[in-house]
Structure 1
Amino acid sequence: MPQNSQARRTVNPAVTSFQRSPSDASATEPKPAPGAEFGLESIVGESESLRDALDRARKVAASRMTTVLIVGETGTGKELVARGIHYSGPGRGEPFVAVNCAAIPEALLESELFGHERGAFTDARSQKRGLMELAGQGTLFLDEIGEMPPRLQPKLLRALEERRVRRLGGLQEVEITCRIIAAANSSLHDAVARLEFREDLYYRLNVFRVALPPLRDRDGDVELLGNYFLKELARQQDLEPKTLDASAVAALRAHNWPGNIRELKNVIEHAAILCEGEVISSSHLMIQQRRSHSAARTDGAMREIQIPPEGKSLDMIEKEAVSATLEITRGNRSAASRILGISRPTLARKMREYGLTTVGTDRAE
């Protein structure tokens, strides 16, 4: 997928694409960027399922203020599509600010999003504008929106409905003019049913929905993406790109790709390093071991959770379900979170709550 070659100022490790305008010496304003390389037309893939999703994204891109919810499995390219919507629309010259809601501690997230006034808390030595303000007439992308702390969800809902926010510790309201694009895995609706995410906020975010297909459902795109990643690696190293032989292509097509595009990119990069020649074969791909992990999830049936006649608490049932899933996936948190229909941060939180540790090696794939 396209990579941004421009320098970026990172305010927080979970905040990306925060750019300053060259005319602003205060070092606090995002920099508008043309970003033509991030348009929807730059996204690699020819499968019908992907084209359908991009057609929807292209339609909503023309509407600058419409709130968008992008859903899809981990690694399907939700942020890339969010960038594509931004850079394909009328606000392409304005900032694109991406925030991972799961990566910022709750104590800091409110200040990051909504800003604060001097003296609002102990370390608030000066006024700070929040990212909703700093995004201007551009786009604020809220990744992992399902991990938004319950305490902040009403404030986000009010910002979406009234297009105004109040900085932490402040009295005056500030107008918000940016578009909001949120992203979540496919289980966000289940989080609403579990009362972990506000139903009214869910429907307010779900004004226009773009569902991204998993890589396993994108017929023909695996080979296209594999060759694309090889060309990108060669370009970065100023070398001739390596190629995939028939055995490599067959192996890529046969794999289920639970980690989607992110997993494919890692596999291709690993193979390019391992291969000393110009042609990559199936022996360089190192996906047989990954396939066994995938099989462990489907072939190893979930053990039954026994409920005695006197009953069992919901917390105990949930603890046993999490524990059993981690055992089946041999400690692979990404695989376990996909089976349970929750995000990795939510799984990590539940493991801490129940005092669980992974079984075997904890892998991210």
Structure 2
Amino acid sequence: MRHQRFRGGLAVAMVATAAVAAAVGTAPASAAAAGCRVSYTISSQWQGGFGANVTVTNLGDPVDGWTLRWSFASGQAVTQAWNATVTQSGAAVTAVSVSHNASLATGATTSFGFNGSWTGANPVPTSFTLNNTACTGGVGPTPTPTVKPPTPNPTPTVTPGPTAPPATPPAGTVRVFWLRPTDVPYDQRYPDGIANVVREAQRYYKQELGKTFTLNNPVVEVVTGEHDSNWYINTNCTPGGDRYWCVVGNMHQELMRRFGIRNPDNRWLNVGEISAEEPGQSGGGASTGWVVLSGHDADGAAGINGPMNRWYGGMVHEIGHGLGLPDSTSTDGTPMSGSFYNYPNTHFTQAQKSAILNGPYGSFFS
């Protein structure tokens, strides 16, 4: 673990981000049906656990409230879900819409995600029903027809332009940003993945402290940057310095200026990730009130840069710094040391728990 002081006044505890093995997962499995289309994607997988994203497209009449059902074939179990209320009885899983995504017009799409457990195998479910109507195309890739039928006008993929600041979230929350430089294409895996990582951190703090912090809706505020990647990499750099500090420092300064955030700010604990870094110069860190991470961590959250437990553990570690905890020794078994690489087999000490709850953001926990 290395420590450096960021020239903008942000003291950061750097987490080494060496390259790791390729992520375990599967490609999305898409299916067409008379009434619905389902895409079930294993976004990340680690020993005994996995994360999944489910996208539902209504191809039938408009619905006001939906229920998606499927069954697991190998004893998997849902442990946590978001954007749907998910229950399980034996192998049978039921996902019910929540208020903000209950209405689906013809052709409309919504998505939700969950974490689960598995032993032995983790195959993709083979069938789904939406409001008791079978999505009869299954979940395998749709075959190319011999004669191409007429297709409706597709919904265009729109890359968001510069974003205006959203409504200010309530105080006492963890505020999360993904900053996308102007030359980086929009990719939904990034806001979804970063949201999944901070939700897992939220779950872990609840496990360890009996209380946890609140995330906003949406969890991740997507920000189109004011500059291209090279600007973030090469501007405001100290000659001979570690260039990733330029990247996260430029992001930090831009987010503070555009969103009126201080360093630190007692209204929010802030997390920023930027999809930019010089090859081989990844990094980031945190100080009280702020977590700042470069492209390596954003890629990891998106599921394309190694096993997810490393990125879950890294986020728990950096949020710990944001809450005011210092680094501890490299082998002490706590997430504030190199032991975070063993996530989830790492635990806070009682002293660390007390320091969090009695620290500058202790009132955020409930």
TM-score, normalised on structure 1?
0.28
Answer 1 or 2: which has greater strand percent: 2
Answer 1 or 2: which has greater helix percent: 1
**Structure with bigger RCO (C-alpha 8 Å, 6+ apart):** 2
TM-score, normalised on structure 2?
0.28
